[in-house]
Amino acid sequence: MNYTKEQILARCNEFTKNTLMETLKIEYIDAGEDFLTAKMPVNPSVHQPMGLLHGGASVALAESVGSAASFFFINPKEQEVRGIEISANHLKSIREGYVFGTARIIHKGRSLHLWEIKITDEAGNLVSLCKLTNMVLDRKKSE
């Protein structure tokens, strides 16, 4: 990555406007050479009927942070990223507070990126473990 931490976080938080990430109140909070972290509040807006964090909200956090992380390994003027597969194991329930999704690159190929995303609670307990595959596509040229 040829960006500073501040540039990465500012860019990620900017492109969440008017998206699902804004609806879920996902905020990018940390970045480094091999990771990107975002947080999401756990409250009734992301609960399932039993009052627990909905697995779909966890997956949305995982895909958001993993896809955003891939963006910094491509040339955005010539390429774009699409999530093509995601899997999640939900290991712990949570009712309130924040969860943190940290994406770490497992494989950075020319056309595929594979990410591991760990979702933890405020105490650092593992809530969900996700794996995301992103495809890197060439942007279509305007005619």
Q: Which positions are annotated as active-site residues?
A: 63
Q: Which residues contact 49 (CB under 8 A, 6 or more apart)?
A: none
108, containing H or E segment: strand 97-108
Question: Tokens 């972290």 — which residue?
Answer: 37
**What are the beta bridge partners of residue 27?**
39
Question: Which of 108, 29, 106 minimizes the C-alpha distance to 61?
Answer: 29
SS3 call for 34? coil
**What are the beta bridge partners of residue 86?**
132
